[in-house]
Amino acid sequence: MEKSSEEMRVVRFGPFEANFTTVELRKHGMRVKLQDQPFQVLKMLLAQPGQLVTREQIRRSLWSSDTFVDFDNGLNAAVNRLREALGDSAESPRYVETLARRGYRWMAPLEATRSSPANLLAGTPAGPSAVEPEAFKKSSLSPQASAPAALVSHRKLRENLAWSVAAVLAIALTVVVPHRFREKQSAPAQPVRFQIPAPENATLGPFLKLSPDGRKLAFETAGRAETRRLWVHFLESGESRDLTAAEGSPFWSPDSRFIGYASQGKLRKIEATGGPPQTVADLPGEWGAGAWNQDGVIVFGSPSGLFRVPASGGVPVQITAVNPVRRETFHYCPTFLPDRQHFLYRHASFDKEMSGIYLGSVDAKPEQQSSKILIASNWQPVYAPSSDPSIGYLLFMREGTLMAQPFDNRGMELKGQATPVVEQVGDNGGGSGGYGAFSASTNDVLVYLRGATPNRQLTWYDRQGKVLGTAGEPGDYQGLVLSPDGTRVALSKRSGQASDIWLLDLSRDTSTRFTFGSEIVSDPVWSPDGSRIIFRSGNGLYQKLANSMKDAELLLKSREVQHAESWSRDGRFLLYDVSDPKMNGEIWVLPLEGDKKPVPFLVTEFSEGDASFSPDGHWVAYTSDESGHLEIYMRSFEMNSARTAVEASGKWQISSGYGVDPRWRNDGRELYYRARDGQLMAVEIATNPQFRSGKPQALGFAAGTSSSFGWDSTADGRRFLVAAPKTNGPEPYTVILNWQAGLKR
């Protein structure tokens, strides 16, 4: 007689359903072929989720004591067949984890129906309620102990604390976390913290990503372009491995086996254990981070929008598009939700009300994507699951504090209130936004890099990189420019979310506040005689006498953000950049005589900026991304007879590989610029009888990788003033196990 539905016992996990009455395993409703012994192993594991099921327990259940059998090979074959049916692997398990020479443990959350999985195996010997390696018992890193002291060196971590960290992870990742999925929950484990120091001769950067299983950390070291590398750190062993050269944020495959990253205009992937990189696709522009779902689809960001591409390789297909009406400039940092189709990502926009985190779909076209902002933030989102399959946490930053807010991943909406997780988290934008230095796994592990308090010292260097001295007091300087006679410095100095311009007298080493705004005031440009300064305040360009306390004169105001760049030596023209989402960056000329009507200099489909007049006023050096990344170019400059247009004939590329922030030597025979790694470069320039440029040569120092790190050169090009960061030593990464237990509820 057939049993009633109430008597059937069924357990669901992921796309699978195990029916212990009909002895069937189904995936998405379709039956999966599985022999009896592998099914019995599955049954035992599901009966004790998160607990060790020993090889001896399985032997007693599957084979009687008087049965002669090659037990080890038989059990290994049964487990391998089970993993094959589940699409699982021993190296990166999602369901069945091997505990070497001891047994197996079920890892995934369960949804029991009809009866709980604990009751499925009456009379089966119960496994231990917790597994505690001997090394963990002896260490000070147990969940009951206080957080460990900061680890001083990578060698010390490997030699002295590798077993301790492994023990913490063995408990937190394989016992404590699955314990949450039982019907009767025990008290949650308390958060445990430890630190990961930088590899030898390297500095940890903000681009980091935890593997989904929480056992590995991919990160990019900071520094010069030739020294920036993709590393992977194995949390259990304490080992860090240098994998390959990379540019920007890495991301993981869902099985924690591969790391995706960008390099030399390509999207690539590499195995976490090492090996040759594999090219996935050509990138359509600047790298905007990526995400990889369980269906083998990668979504990544760019200045034009998000793209999807098969992880096996192919041509990227655009799925979102920046909206010029909303003044958007970048879509980046997608993070997939549990349904594999939807993801969260960030819109960067000049309109603060439009800049934030949005919901997207991998199958939608750009015009079909949601335009509803979920939450305002200048940093990327990260989705982290919780013990409730229908609710996860949206991690985001707010003024340097990492926040967590419940997210209904079925209704695709936020719930409740945001809760602070960690304060003073770093980013790649000097605290103003961009890529936040934090990541979370799918099993309650969090890692972050603490943000350093911005503190820069004005430092003099010679061409060889020798420090010649310092000037002024340390401060949060965002830009600087020397006066034409070299006696004063105009500084853009930030305080909180606002900034103002200060003037530093180099002979007396004293500073005076020049502007008194409540918003962003920046981009000071000296007049040729040093009597006036033009600067940006909000969306306007203003002019003010350098030695006067009178109010500034408004020169130009518009809806777009404008950046003053360069004042011609004859005093007649100002070059300025316009950040226009419709046309990317544009370069315009503002006549400072006559009707003062702006004239376009360079308006193309590419993004141009950083314009700088040559000393004789006949040439303009500028940056453009027409090659796919920023380079320095040169064009001639001449107003037409009607003074209504600019004749810009000819074009020459000056930099090689990357270049921003061009500056001229006073005689016009040398140009300086900043390379991708912050290294200052020098290029010889000749304009007579025809234009030609030399090979870029590196000077002996760097001026920072962020545009907010100011620098300038003296008129003769022998000395350089740099707002050099002051640090108290490299910051380590901080790891928090069981971080959700620390949330205020």
Query: What whole-number distance in Å separates Cα of residue 34 and Cα of residue 462?
Result: 73
Question: pLDDT digit string (tens) for 562-617?
Answer: 899 999 999 999 999 997 655 568 999 999 988 889 999 988 888 899 999 999 99
- Beta bridge partners, 480, equal 491
Query: Is the bond preceding 689 in cis, omega lying within 30 degrees of 0?
Result: yes
Structure confidence at residue 299 (pLDDT): 97
pTM for this model (two decimals): 0.58
Write down the pLDDT at residue 403.
94
The span from the CA of 533 to the CA of 651, in Å, is 30
pLDDT at 437: 93
Written as one letter, the residue type at 36 is D
Written in H, E and C, the secondary structure of 413-435 is EECCCCEEEECCECECCCCCCEC
**567 close to 615: Cβ distance less than 8 angstroms:** no
* pLDDT tens, position by position, 58-97: 888 876 555 445 667 778 888 988 998 898 888 778 889 8
Which value, in Å, is the radius of gyration of the alpha carbons in the chain?
30
- Residue 620 three-state SS: strand
Between CA 262 and CA 231 the distance in angstroms is 13
CB atoms < 10 A from the CB of 462, how many?
Answer: 14
Dihedral sign from CA coordinates of 167, 169, 173, 179: positive
Pick out the chain residues at pLDDT < 70.
Answer: 1-8, 63-71, 111-188, 223-227, 430, 452-454, 496-497, 580-584, 642-645, 647-648, 705-709, 727-730, 745
DSSP reduced 3-state for 296: coil
- Yes or no: say if 439 and 447 are a contact pair by the CB < 8 Å rule: yes
Domains observed in the chain: 5-129 (1.10.10.10), 140-452+730-742 (2.120.10.30), 456-725 (2.120.10.30)
Decide the pairing of beta strands 477-482 and 488-495.
antiparallel
Q: What is the pLDDT of residue 441?
A: 95
**Beta partners for 373?**
358
Which residues are CB-neighbours of 525 under 8 A, at least 6 positions away?
A: 481, 533, 534, 535, 564, 565, 566, 567, 574
Residue 692's beta-bridge partner residues?
686
**Residue-wise pLDDT tens digits, 255-267:** 999 999 999 889 9
Determine the pLDDT at residue 65: 54
Q: Are 228 and 202 in contact (CB under 8 A)?
A: no
Exposed, middle or buried, 30 (CB in 10 Å: 0-12/13-18/19+)?
exposed
440, 442, 355: which is closest to 403 by C-alpha? 440
Residue found under tokens 């655009």: 318
Q: What angle do CA 58, 63, 66 make, to 5 degrees?
A: 135
Secondary structure letter of residue 191 according to DSSP: P
Are 489 and 503 in contact by the 8 Å Cβ rule? The answer is yes
The partner residues of 398 in beta bridges, in order of sequence, read: 401
What is the structure's pLDDT at 581? Answer: 55
Coil/strand/helix, residue 161: helix
Indicate the Cα dihedral angle 529, 530, 536, 540, nearest 10°.
Answer: -50
